[in-house]
Amino acid sequence: MTVSIFTKCLLYVGSFAILFASVFFMQPHIETSAAEAAFGLNDKPVNILAAEWTGPFSGVPAFDKVKTADFVPAFEQAMAERLKEIDAITNVRSVPTFENTIAAMERSGQRMKRVSTYYYIWSSSMNTPEFGKVRQEMAPKLAAFSDKITQNEALFNRIESVYNSEEKKNLTPEQQRLVWLYHTNFVRAGAKLNKEQKQRLSEINQELAGLFTRFSQNLLKDEGGQYIELKNESDLKGMSDSYKSGAASDAAEKNLKGSWIIRNTRSSVDPFLTYAENRGLREKVWKMFVSRGDHGETDNKATISEILQLRAERAKLLGYETHAHWRLENAMAKTPERAMELMEAVWTPAIARVKEEVSDMQALADKEGAKITIEPWDYHFYMEKVRKERYDLDANEVKQYLQLDKIREAMFWVAGELFDFDFSQVKGVPVYHADMTVWEVKRRSTGKHVGLWYFDPYARDGKNSGAWMNSYREQSRFDGEVTTIVSNNSNFVKGQPGEPVLISWDDAVTMFHEFGHALHGLSSDVTYPSLSGTAVARDYVEFPSQLLEHWLSTPEVLQKFAVHYKTGKPIPQALVDKIEKASTFNQGFGTTEYLASALIDMKLHLAGSKKIDVAKFEKETLDALGMPRELVMRHRTPHFAHAFSSDGYSAGYYSYLWSDVITADSYGAFTEGKGPYDKAVGQKLVKNIFSVGNTIDPAEAYRNFRGRDPKVEALMKKRGFPVEEK
């Protein structure tokens, strides 16, 4: 929700209640007629956004028919039907059973699911000012609607009855897990509160939903509305031809002919900071980027303070010490203290490495006679110079072998080798933007249809920055086989027509990471939709995606797909060796900028009801941590969308590090065996990790794969940090 590995995955959800959307209304598509028959609903004309998906592959989203004006009436219709479905479940006079309560909940909410799918896609990828008004209107309404379900006493009584029943002992393990999930999520959402408490909880959720939307809209305005126009090509000295081409294309889209623009997004900013020789412009671009959400009409600091206060109040209402304790209860870490223990263990060697990196950069700058002191806008630039001097490795040289389309082909090839998947592009399937492509996924060995993969690669106005995976329809075999539909979304700068888009090594890693999420969804092999695919603990969901990153650097991939964009020749082994030798280079910077954000996130949410001055808290906390002055948090608080555009990663940004412990340890199963394409280990990985969804506790799933719990030593070695002997 991406994806460096720490920024990729940002799941776009709009309220606290929607965290539990897989249970309440974010269910995969099933035949509407079956749902109507089950609940006694009449077949009547429906809004296009709520209508059953038609067309090939058991139906696909009608992206070509979406109109902004349809969203509000579609939600009104879908919500009304959803409440009728709930009434049908609670009005059953017979004793609550798995079939008439839990299974009935799994069948319900299909129209709500379809409308919500469109809504969250538009929120992240097609967010026009007109649609922004829809979000502002619907966010609190959706929170209130979800509370009507979680606070429905009759419904919860039925769920709790099944949870405590003798019948549960005779259910399958997956059914037992599903009963546990429903009961746990309802309790955590306030089902056991009294009437007055429920009322206040609903008010909080609605207020938060509006604040999340305000935060997101402000950030989107800064990222889409701010840019730096360059009118002289000399200002781009040091930049590659492909970057200049993309910058010119972006300028042309804004009717700035003869100019180049630097977008206020990481995919545009990071390369400029790395190669632009004009130090004054680097400073200007850096300040634009790190100041998102921190000034003027789009200042998010007051909004964040309100969010923190409301989260603290909600946690107390639900019986938890802080928001962080509530969020981590069902995570692998279980407690904030365990998450903090891991982060603090890595923080010390990380900042020590930063000091070494800065010393190396300063020495090089002095040697060149630059007469400067390394500042944050110099870090990327001199880091690259040190890399080139120490390893004779030029990232721009590597980039010539990394074409966007070729890396996509590499991902498909790895999916075939490890997952038995085959990808083929399909035409005629509706898309929401002309840049988007659609691919059918089949079993390579049998030709059986698995699902669809949508790819939306380029940056544009109205699209959130970063990279992420979406699930449009989750796999299940409840009431018939339902195949999955997923997407990967990126923000590459589109070049001139006919020119290949060249990407950095980090960008290629990001693509593999996000594709790992997609494979997690496509590999799902479960019965019930609420347990499907990536619907796992937040600090576990990044594990499969981070693991897939390792396959980018395998010789099989590099020789086949890392080919020069002009000559077509594969990347030279000498250059590959340099990449390998430099693999732990700059880990001080990468780890520290990430951990700074993760620690601020956790400490903000451990502060409880304390009134927070966001700017002061950020500065004082980083000072106390000994944050190096030469870099900033990867996501400064005013634009920390992971934490404040929803509850999604709040008190949970540590998850990337937690998952990477598992990732580093699990890859050892391949290296200790026959290598990364060991078929036996690959099959074991799919069977125990990628296919099981949330049908099993993740710690148990990992032990089934690895034979033991993960060890942190593998992570330290991966990042080149010292490992204590035990």
pLDDT, tens only, 336-347? 999 999 999 999
Domain boundary pick from 565, 581, 597: 581
Cα–Cα distance for residue pair 346/344, rounded to 1 Å: 5
| Residues of the domain holding 339 | 298-393+585-653
Query: Scanning the structure block, which residue is given the tokens 């299909």?
Result: 110
pLDDT of residue 32: 38
**Is 712 domain-assigned?**
no
Examine the domain organization and report whether 342 and 436 are in the same domain: no
**Is 696 domain-assigned?**
no
Q: Is the pLDDT of residue 3 over 50?
A: no
Q: Is the pLDDT of residue 652 over 50?
A: yes
Is 549 part of the annotated catalytic residue set? no
**Strand ranges across the sheet with 437-443:** 421-426, 437-443, 449-458, 484-492, 468-473
Q: Are strands 437-443 and 449-458 parallel, antiparallel or unpaired?
A: antiparallel
Examine the domain organization and report whether 593 and 575 are in the same domain: no
Residue 486 and residue 456 in contact, taking contact as beta carbons nearer than 8 Å: no
Examine the domain organization and report whether 284 and 302 are in the same domain: no
**Is 348 domain-assigned?**
yes
**Is 264 domain-assigned?**
yes
Model confidence pLDDT, tens digit, residues 23-39? 333 333 333 344 444 55
Domain boundary pick from 242, 263, 289: 289
Residue 559 and residue 352 in contact, taking contact as beta carbons nearer than 8 Å: no
Model confidence pLDDT, tens digit, residues 227-236? 999 999 999 9
pLDDT of residue 401: 98
Report the sign of the C-alpha dihedral through residues 266, 271, 274, 276, in that order. negative
Examine the domain organization and report whether 519 and 436 are in the same domain: yes
- 524-531 average pLDDT score: 98
**Is 702 domain-assigned?**
no
Report the sign of the C-alpha dihedral through residues 654, 656, 659, 664, in that order. negative
Percent with pLDDT over 90 in the chain:
90
Cα atoms found within 13 Å of the Cα of residue 494, Cβ hemisphere only: 17
Domain boundary pick from 172, 201, 219: 219
> Residue 47 maps to which CATH number?
1.10.1370.40
Q: What is the DSSP letter of 508?
A: H
Q: Which residues contact 29 (CB under 8 A, 6 or more apart)?
A: 52, 53, 58, 59, 110, 113, 114, 473, 482
Examine the domain organization and report whether 373 and 414 are in the same domain: no
**Is 717 domain-assigned?**
no
Structure tokens at 593: 């900028």
Examine the domain organization and report whether 632 and 493 are in the same domain: no
**Is 152 domain-assigned?**
yes
- 161-168 average pLDDT score: 97
Examine the domain organization and report whether 186 and 73 are in the same domain: yes
Cα–Cα distance for residue pair 39/41, rounded to 1 Å: 6
Examine the domain organization and report whether 181 and 37 are in the same domain: yes
Report the sign of the C-alpha dihedral through residues 189, 640, 457, 399, in that order. negative
Examine the domain organization and report whether 562 and 590 are in the same domain: no
Structure tokens at 323: 């928001």
Residue 565 and residue 400 in contact, taking contact as beta carbons nearer than 8 Å: yes
> Residue 609 maps to which CATH number?
1.10.1370.10
- 145-165 average pLDDT score: 97
- For the CA atoms of 191, 194, 198, 201, what is the dihedral angle to 10 degrees? -100
Cα atoms found within 13 Å of the Cα of residue 698, Cβ hemisphere only: 25
Examine the domain organization and report whether 185 and 43 are in the same domain: yes
pLDDT of residue 43: 53
Q: Are strands 484-492 and 437-443 parallel, antiparallel or unpaired?
A: unpaired
Model confidence pLDDT, tens digit, residues 590-625? 999 999 999 999 999 999 999 999 999 999 999 999
Cα–Cα distance for residue pair 628/589, rounded to 1 Å: 10
Query: Across all residues in the chain, what is the average pLDDT?
Result: 92
Examine the domain organization and report whether 346 and 414 are in the same domain: no
Query: Scanning the structure block, which residue is given the tokens 């990347």?
Result: 571
List 207, 384, 514, 630, catalytic entry: 514
Q: Are strands 484-492 and 449-458 parallel, antiparallel or unpaired?
A: parallel
Residue 11 and residue 545 in contact, taking contact as beta carbons nearer than 8 Å: no
Task: Count structural domains, the chain.
Answer: 4
Question: How far is C-alpha 554 from the geometric centre of its chain's CA atoms?
Answer: 25
Q: Is the pLDDT of residue 9 over 90?
A: no
pLDDT of residue 725: 52
Model confidence pLDDT, tens digit, residues 360-401? 999 999 999 999 999 999 999 999 999 999 999 998 999 999
- 424-437 average pLDDT score: 97
**Is 598 domain-assigned?**
yes
Look at phi and psi of residue 533 and say left if phi exceeds 0, alpha if psi is from -120 to 50, else beta.
left
Examine the domain organization and report whether 462 and 476 are in the same domain: yes
Report the sign of the C-alpha dihedral through residues 425, 431, 435, 436, in that order. negative
Cα–Cα distance for residue pair 20/28, rounded to 1 Å: 14
